[in-house]
Structure 1
Amino acid sequence: MPNLEDWIPNRKAKPIFAEIRRRGVVSKFDLLEMSGLTSSTLTRMLEELATSGWIEESGLGESSGGRRPLLYRLKHDRGYVLGLDVSRASTRLVLCDLQLEKIDSASWQMTERMTPDRLLQEIEAAANKMIAKHGLDRGRLLGIGIGAVGPVDRTNGTMLNPLYFPAEGWSQVPIGPKLERMLGVPVLLDNGANTALLAEYWAGSQQYRHLLYVRAGVGLRSAMMSNGQLVYGAVDMEGSVGHMIIQTDGPPHPERPHVFGCLESFVSIPVLEKQAAAKLKQGRRSVLTDWVDRPDDVGFHHLLKALSADDRLVTELFTQAATYFGIGLSNLLNILHPEKVILGGPLITSNELFYQISTQVALKNTLYYPTYPVTFSRGKLSDDALAVGAAAMVVDRLTS
């Protein structure tokens, strides 16, 4: 199979292609200014990219006194990419064109029966079905990107030891090599927070130099981007935000009892469920008692329903969790100073209360507030973010 880097063999043509992709539609004049190439060299690069089908002409731009410049854009159907989001509650597969427009998708619930082998078989069947359904040339399938629960080994394509998976076997899973053999295309792996941030970047945040992404759900996951590049550490950093110590004499981490008072001990779906069950056992009044037979049966969907009903107990629990989350965000802001913070995950997207309280607390505890002009937003892509970002990772590699 061809390496992704070899699809565009001319090294000088790669930054031209990358700039056209980044800007959507761009004039030859702007490309000349950006690239520093001579007019004849740039013309040759553009002709080469157009002949091989990567770009196409898109009319004429506005004149600045002379001839109207030619405009160029990506040829979206030159190739196709698959993006896979492997998360604790569900897994999603998307098929996208080069502009990351979604063509098709499939999803699976991560039940106790969804072992790695079973999931990979489902993914292989779904990918082949999508390609056949849309009549795509398999030779134009560039590869598949995977955004998985960390920690991951990106080099070897392995999911290491993620927490909270319902099924057995989700430790030391060589998901990259396995899918490469099954689908016959290159596979790239990164943690899901990084791929979600990539997706949000390409969905309209390219104007920001420093971006922070935090996802709050079953656990806490984060990613950072600076000058359009993801920031990596010596080890996978996706879950590190959850281990930020908020209160040294606080409760132990749900899965790591030797760690006390970290952010994930106060903010996660499992923690909220356990807190609600404990309060019901203490005799606290709540509409939850009408919906479950036992306190331990309380699930996240019950909590959201109670929150919508203005249940006092559940509102109290969400307010407390959002406050702690806001404190954690303020620590990140004080250390990293991003221009924009994108928040995602079920705790953010499923209710307004959590988002509003957490962002207000974060700002009030941030150095230089209110002059520090940080922007908060919810993710634009919601459930598709991690998978679409994984597909973006494959397109990015074309110009590496």
Structure 2
Amino acid sequence: MNVFSHQIASPKKLIYMHVAQHGMTSKAELMPVSGMTSSSLTRLLDEMLTDKLLLTFQGQSSGGRKPILYDINPNYGYFFGLDISRRTSTLGFFDAKMNAKALMRWRMDEAMSPPELIDYVVRSIKSIMQDHHIERNQVIGIGVGAVGPLERGKGIISKPSDFPSPGWTHVPICSLLEEKTGIPARLENGANAALIGEHWSMRSENLQHMLYVHAGVGLRSAMMSDGHIVHGSVDMEGAVGQMVIQMDGPRLHDRGNYGAWEAFASVQALVKRARADAKSGRTDIPGAAHISPERITYDMLLHGLHAGSAYAQEIFTQSAVHFGIGLANLINVLHPETIILGGTLINSNELFYQTAVDTAQRNTYYYPDYVPSFTKGILREDAVAIGSALLIWKDLAM
């Protein structure tokens, strides 16, 4: 049961995924999905009931015999989803219906090195399993969504930048987790995992072409076409932040492209600007009156924004405009039907989100004839953890 499969879906898996996506389903509704005869489908459903993949329920009668409805068994197996990000990380525990049985989140500070994170996650996994009376053989796997770049096939976090703790280079995250838990692990970049999670949460809308952009410490993006994640030849999710939006513009920390998107629209960009303004003598920067400019933090600026600081509103609004310009560039290239925006900046306040969306729409070619929808998503800060667990769930071998 703990073997991941990438083969063409079997009839059993087609039935399972259809029921999982649509909820309680009758045999009559499954007939066109299966492409099988009635007797063959009956045998397959009986087999899936015996294997405890499915459960049966009685439906409402419309005058005759009450129909038998099939639903997936939430206790068939369990899944962990781990989100490793720069500001916060999340561990989720889910049943086979992707119901969250446990969710925990923690701050990624200077002490949260790779060994510390591994130890913390392993202890948490063991504690969660004990609390829910779950045995090791009931857990299918651990999905990991992490900041890139990655060596995804090898389960390695390669060279991510800007973690508060040192040591986040060439971390074999999957093998470390497997060695300490005995549970198979699989790695995906966090933006892709978030999009997988949000796509699943919106499955009733049958969306096929989606763009996800995360604005936080850096900028990350993912794209889905025909319902499938678009993987490039390398997992460089943060590279979208290097899109040039102003030829003679600045760059972050003396690296990357001049005029790059992330130099205008990221947590780091806001902090860098506030520190520069403080050094130039500006006195209305929230929290900066009695500290050195280098000690100004994003949390100070965010607090000022919520408190009504004119300075904070100014720099967040300008950042949102730049974010919207870069977003329009992506939309003009990729033509998604739905754009999901997530991350610390998007959720800083409604002003940032709406300014970014308005700017993107004004700079989208063919607007207003082509008007993609914008949303903050349904899962939001839990999207990466849930999407990571879904990676394992979708690869159930049947």
Alpha-carbon distance in structure 1 between the residues aligned to 2:139 and 2:287 = 52
* Correspondence for 2:279: 281
Contact 1:285 1:313 in 2 (8 A): no
Alpha-carbon distance in structure 2 between the residues aligned to 1:26 and 1:367 = 42
Alpha-carbon distance in structure 2 between the residues aligned to 1:146 and 1:13 = 27
* Correspondence for 1:167: 165
Contact 1:286 1:313 in 2 (8 A): yes
* Correspondence for 1:15: 14
One-letter amino acid of the counterpart of residue 340, structure 1: T
2:98 corresponds to which of 97, 100, 110: 100
2:395 corresponds to which of 380, 394, 397: 397
One-letter amino acid of the counterpart of residue 370, structure 2: Y
For each residue in 1:138-168, what CA deviation from the matched residue of structure 2 results, as whole angstroms up to 9, or x when unmatched?
2110010000001111111000100101222
For each residue in 1:96-129, what CA deviation from the matched residue of structure 2 results, as whole angstroms up to 9, or x when unmatched?
1112111113333222222211211111111001
1:358 corresponds to which of 356, 361, 366: 356
Q: Map of 1:219-238 to 2, 5 A cutoff?
A: 219-238=218-237
Alpha-carbon distance in structure 2 between the residues aligned to 1:255 and 1:194 = 28
Alpha-carbon distance in structure 1 between the residues aligned to 2:250 and 2:115 = 36
Q: 1:110–1:36: structure 2 CA closer, same or farther, 3 Å change rule?
A: same
Alpha-carbon distance in structure 2 between the residues aligned to 1:167 and 1:145 = 23
Mean alpha-carbon deviation: is it higher for 76-85 or for 378-387? Answer: 378-387
Contact 1:277 1:295 in 2 (8 A): yes
Alpha-carbon distance in structure 1 between the residues aligned to 2:135 and 2:332 = 49
Q: Map of 1:102-117 to 2, 5 A cutoff?
A: 102-117=100-115
2:120 corresponds to which of 122, 133, 147: 122
Alpha-carbon distance in structure 2 between the residues aligned to 1:111 and 1:302 = 17
Mean alpha-carbon deviation: is it higher for 373-382 or for 265-274? Answer: 373-382
* Correspondence for 1:58: 57
Q: What is the Cα deviation at residue 289 of structure 1?
A: 4.9
Q: 1:292–1:222: structure 2 CA closer, same or farther, 3 Å change rule?
A: farther
One-letter amino acid of the counterpart of residue 56, structure 1: L
Alpha-carbon distance in structure 2 between the residues aligned to 1:381 and 1:292 = 39
Secondary structure, aligned partner of 2:237: coil
Alpha-carbon distance in structure 1 between the residues aligned to 2:336 and 2:145 = 23
One-letter amino acid of the counterpart of residue 376, structure 2: R
Alpha-carbon distance in structure 1 between the residues aligned to 2:130 and 2:196 = 28
For each residue in 1:226-259, what CA deviation from the matched residue of structure 2 results, as whole angstroms up to 9, or x when unmatched?
22211111111411221111011111233624x2
TM normalised by structure 2 equals: 0.94
* Correspondence for 1:190: 188
Q: What is the Cα deviation at residue 369 of structure 1?
A: 0.7
Q: 1:325–1:84: structure 2 CA closer, same or farther, 3 Å change rule?
A: same
Mean alpha-carbon deviation: is it higher for 187-196 or for 381-390? Answer: 381-390
Contact 1:288 1:306 in 2 (8 A): yes
Q: What is the Cα deviation at residue 61 of structure 1?
A: 5.9
Contact 2:90 2:103 in 1 (8 A): yes
Structure 1 residue ranges (4+ consecutive) displaced by more than 4 angstroms after TM superposition: 65-69, 289-292
Contact 2:3 2:397 in 1 (8 A): no
One-letter amino acid of the counterpart of residue 196, structure 1: A
Contact 1:284 1:313 in 2 (8 A): no
One-letter amino acid of the counterpart of residue 246, structure 2: Q
Q: 1:9–1:344: structure 2 CA closer, same or farther, 3 Å change rule?
A: closer
Mean alpha-carbon deviation: is it higher for 98-107 or for 46-55? Answer: 98-107
Task: Give ranges in structure 1 of 5+ residues lacking alignment.
Answer: none
One-letter amino acid of the counterpart of residue 3, structure 2: N
Alpha-carbon distance in structure 1 between the residues aligned to 2:219 and 2:57 = 43
Equivalent pairs counted in the alignment come to: 397
Q: Map of 1:252-267 to 2, 5 A cutoff?
A: 252-254=251-253, 256-257=255-256, 259-267=257-265
Are 2:378 and 1:384 equivalent residues in the alignment? Answer: no
Are 2:285 and 1:315 equivalent residues in the alignment? Answer: no
TM normalised by structure 1 equals: 0.94
1:369 corresponds to which of 362, 367, 370: 367
Contact 2:285 2:312 in 1 (8 A): no
Q: What is the Cα deviation at residue 66 of structure 1?
A: 7.8
Q: 1:66–1:276: structure 2 CA closer, same or farther, 3 Å change rule?
A: same
* Correspondence for 1:241: 240
One-letter amino acid of the counterpart of residue 192, structure 2: N
* Correspondence for 1:301: 299
Q: Map of 1:14-93 to 2, 5 A cutoff?
A: 14-60=13-59, 69-93=67-91
One-letter amino acid of the counterpart of residue 73, structure 2: K
Q: What is the Cα deviation at residue 175 of structure 1?
A: 0.5
Q: What is the Cα deviation at residue 9 of structure 1?
A: 12
One-letter amino acid of the counterpart of residue 115, structure 1: S
Contact 1:273 1:299 in 2 (8 A): yes
* Correspondence for 2:250: 251
Task: Give ranges in structure 2 of 5+ residues lacking alignment.
Answer: none
Q: 1:357–1:261: structure 2 CA closer, same or farther, 3 Å change rule?
A: same
Percent identity between matched residues is 42
Contact 1:245 1:263 in 2 (8 A): yes
Q: 1:334–1:176: structure 2 CA closer, same or farther, 3 Å change rule?
A: same
Q: 1:68–1:292: structure 2 CA closer, same or farther, 3 Å change rule?
A: farther
Alpha-carbon distance in structure 2 between the residues aligned to 1:50 and 1:391 = 24
Contact 2:278 2:285 in 1 (8 A): no
For each residue in 1:334-354, what CA deviation from the matched residue of structure 2 results, as whole angstroms up to 9, or x when unmatched?
111111111111101121111
Contact 1:339 1:374 in 2 (8 A): yes
